[in-house]
Structure 1
Amino acid sequence: MDENRLRAYLNLIQLLLSCPAEEEGEQLQEHSEFVDSGLIKVMQQVPSRMAADGDRA
């Protein structure tokens, strides 16, 4: 996966986690170019990476 694309996915995930729930749909529409199977794959990997990082902290 392209590093820039991965960074965009991670930025979108962070945006979705930090925005009010009622704005999630709007944010997804605004960033629709990143709503694809790659985003889903990264979203599935984020929790396990966060847990691994927590184990190292």
Structure 2
Amino acid sequence: MRKNIGAKSYVLPQPVFIIAAYDENGIPNAMASTWGGISNENEISISLVQNERR
């Protein structure tokens, strides 16, 4: 049975998201996040965890 699910904003296969920002001095900083996706048609969810290295 074939079912039409319509046009949806799916992000598959799982991509790498590049997240970037500028600090107060205008210096850019970027990171790659593999744990992200579209949670709603107009929202992106990204999971960020800080790893502490000792």
TM superposition score normalised by structure 1: 0.25
Larger relative strand fraction: 2
TM superposition score normalised by structure 2: 0.26
Larger relative helix fraction: 1
